[in-house]
Amino acid sequence: MDNFWQTCSAQLELELTPQQFSAWIKPLIALDYEDGKLRIAAPNRFKLDWVKSQFASRITVLASQYWEAPTEVQFVLDPRNNLPKKPAVAPGAPSASGVASDPRNGSADAAPGAPPELFNIGNSPRREQSRVNTELTFDSFVTGKANQLARAAAIQVANNPGVSYNPLFFYGGVGLGKTHLIHAIGNQVMADQPGARIRYIHAEQYVRDVVTAYQRKGFDDFKHYYHSLDMLLIDDIQFFGGKSRTQEEFFYAFEALIAAKKQIIITSDTYPKEITGMDDRLISRFDSGLTVAIEPPELEMRVAILLKKAQSEGVTFSDDVAFFVAKHLRSNVRELEGALRKILAYSRFHGKDITIDVVKEALKDLLSVQNRQISVENIQKTVADFFNIKVADMYSKRRPANIARPRQIAMYLAKELTQKSLPEIGELFGGRDHTTVLHAVRKIALDRTKNPECNHELHVLEQTLKG
Ligand SMILES: Nc1ncnc2c1ncn2[C@@H]1O[C@H](COP(=O)(O)OP(=O)(O)OP(=O)(O)O)[C@@H](O)[C@H]1O
């Protein structure tokens, strides 16, 4: 229940203004969930009526998504508000149950509307608490040259958590299977040790947890929760970049877990030293275990993935069709999955067998993007002309700002407008490492959102390149 409410209120916090959130959502408590019925308590009749009229449908959608079943939401008055007042207790002091006191229990010094303890583990089954996706297993993970090392390390850690490689750090571009692999580890450990306290968390959610703990002065609960896990799976840790309070809290959790020989598995879009805005002491700790890259899948692996995913949808793809799709879509597995969904939807809707012609029709948009044939060479030339530098500077090792920035812009455009992978782009820019390209892509993407002049330049370049 705590997990659900944390997820639901984090989502609502994103959707509402801070005033709306703290006035209407923060005072609510998710009481229980049974047989598709979720009960939420409001502190008084006025709030109950307002929340019901304004937010019931959104909470219903979020709850139905969370439990993957239609859910009916009932709003009730908080039963604890009717309890006789207890003598004052210092907020956060342990009660007889050993749990920090809930300031809403009517004690004289309680802050009205303050939340219950944040990270109370509650009684839900360990599997639910873990947030591990049961579908992402080793069995459904296709292996090839691009990920065989990562998979081997993952299996080793799943067999000996806390012993072999700690932390285990996976890095690679988007949609290449990092998340899948850490869930697979979680699933295996959970099957072997059903009592283990495992937690999968996306780094953005961890940041939100820190913010919430900060706002609610709930760091004791936060620490208690994270430091007492048996295994922490943390995804996309690059989101910690520049967030010093989060990094500090994570550092303590990291030290506590490693000292207790509890396994930590981390993913990132780049290797530790390249994560921007990350504290050096964390980087050196990330490096202290095993760091493994996951590369973009090669052709045969893309074919194998398509065949396996089609099979799991109950559809048989001919090899011709699988090769056709895999040859044209080269960037990552997520893109392949998207293509597969489009093909299946198209063939079902039109009642047609899956042939190459049907695939061409179903993927018309995706393939036309491919066929625009904007080459990296073309991008380098256009950008060099635009900034009045030599094309050769695109490959050179020189780094003055008047050259480095156009080069980064060209790398960004190469990633945006071609199907080349990061290593392929790096190769075409004088044999640079893929992490350098990734850094450039992220930097320019960020500049673009912040700096209208940069956005305008990119717009002009894109229009020129697209003709
Ligand atoms: N080797 C694989 N075998 C089967 N499915 C895969 C494989 N690699 C990735 N996938 C699938 O591709 C999709 C994207 O993978 P995933 O979310 O793990 O990528 P990621 O590397 O974590 O990307 P991001 O950094 O964008 O989060 C998922 O549905 C995943 O199950």
Residue predicted with more confidence, 450 or 23: 450
Residue 43 has a pLDDT of 80
- Tell me how far the alpha carbon of residue 437 lies from the centroid of ligand 1, in angstroms: 21
pLDDT, position 260? 94
Question: What CATH architecture does domain 1-84 belong to?
Answer: 2-Layer Sandwich (3.30)
150-175 residue pLDDT tens: 999 999 999 999 988 999 999 988 88
Closest C-alpha to 198, from 236, 162, 252: 162
Per-residue tokens: 34? 């049974």
Contact call for residues 286 and 266 (beta carbons, < 8 A): yes
Residue given tokens 């909470």 in the structure block: 59
- So what's the ipTM on this one? 0.98
Both tokens of 105, joined, read 């229990």
Q: Report how far ligand 1's centroid is from the alpha carbon of 394 (Å).
A: 32
Q: Kindly give the distance from the C-alpha atom of residue 453 to the centroid of ligand 1, in angstroms, as a whole number.
A: 35
Q: Is the CB of 178 under 6 A from ligand 1?
A: yes
**How far, in Å, from the CA of 49 to the mean position of ligand 1?**
43
| DSSP-H helix ranges across 295-375 | 299-312, 319-328, 333-350, 356-362, 364-371
Question: Which residue among 155, 179, 271 is best mutated to probe the pocket of ligand 1, counting the most ligand atoms within 8 A of its Cβ?
Answer: 179
Predicted TM-score (pTM) of this structure: 0.61
Q: pLDDT tens digit string along 286-329? A: 999 999 999 888 889 999 999 999 999 899 889 999 999 998 88
How far is Cα 15 from Cα 24, in angstroms, rounded to an integer?
13
Any residues with CB less than 8 A from the CB of 340 and at least 6 apart, and which?
306, 309, 310, 313, 325
**For all residues of the chain together, what is the average pLDDT?**
84
pLDDT digits (tens, 9 = 90+) for 374-396: 789 889 988 988 898 888 889 88
DSSP for 296-310, please give it.
PPPHHHHHHHHHHHH
> From edge to edge, which strands make up the β-sheet containing 263-268?
198-202, 231-235, 263-268, 168-171, 290-293
- Among 45-49, 67-71, 355-359, the range with the most confident prediction by mean pLDDT is 355-359
Q: Give per-residue pLDDT as tens, 227-283.
A: 999 999 999 999 999 999 999 999 999 999 999 999 999 999 888 988 889 999 999
**How is the beta sheet containing 37-42 ordered, strand by strand?**
29-34, 37-42, 72-77
Q: From the CB of 29, is ligand 1 less than 6 Å away?
A: no
CA quadruple 159, 165, 168, 169: dihedral, nearest 10:
-140
For the record, the structure tokens of 359 come out as 């695939």
Span 111-126, pLDDT tens digits: 333 333 444 444 556 7
Location of structure tokens 């042939």: 355
The number of CA neighbours under 13 Å toward the Cβ of 423 is: 11
User: In this predicted model, what pLDDT tens digit does every residue of 404-437 receive, in sequence order?
Assistant: 999 999 999 999 888 789 999 999 999 999 999 9
Residue 357 burial (C-beta neighbours within 10 Å; 0-12, 13-18, 19+): exposed
Which two tokens mark 154? 């993952």
pLDDT in tens, 80-108: 654 333 333 333 333 322 223 332 232 22
Place of tokens 């409001």: 42
Domains of the chain, by residue range, sit at 1-84, 136-293, 299-371, 376-466
Q: Kindly indicate whether the domain formed by 299-371 is annotated with CATH number 1.10.8.60.
A: yes
* 175 close to ligand 1 (CB < 6 Angstrom): yes
- Binding site, annotated residues: 175, 177-179
Closest residue by CA, ligand 1 atom 29: 334
Instruction: Say whether domain 136-293 belongs to CATH 3.40.50.300.
Output: yes
Peptide bond into 167 cis (omega under 30): yes
Predicted pLDDT of residue 330 = 75
Query: Ligand 1 mean position to 416 CA, how many Å?
Result: 20
Residue 386: Cβ within 10 Å count: 15
Whether residue 37 contacts residue 88, with contact meaning beta carbons closer than 8 Å, is answered with: no
Tell me, using a 6 A CB cutoff, whether residue 27 lines ligand 1: no
Probe target for ligand 1 pocket from 333, 421, 438, 441, with the most ligand atoms within 8 Å of CB: 333
Please state which CATH class domain 376-466 belongs to: mainly alpha
Residues 262, 231: contact at Cβ < 8 Å?
A: yes
Partners of 94 in the beta sheet? 100
pLDDT the model gives residue 116: 34
Q: Which residues on adjacent β-strands are paired with residue 37?
A: 34, 72
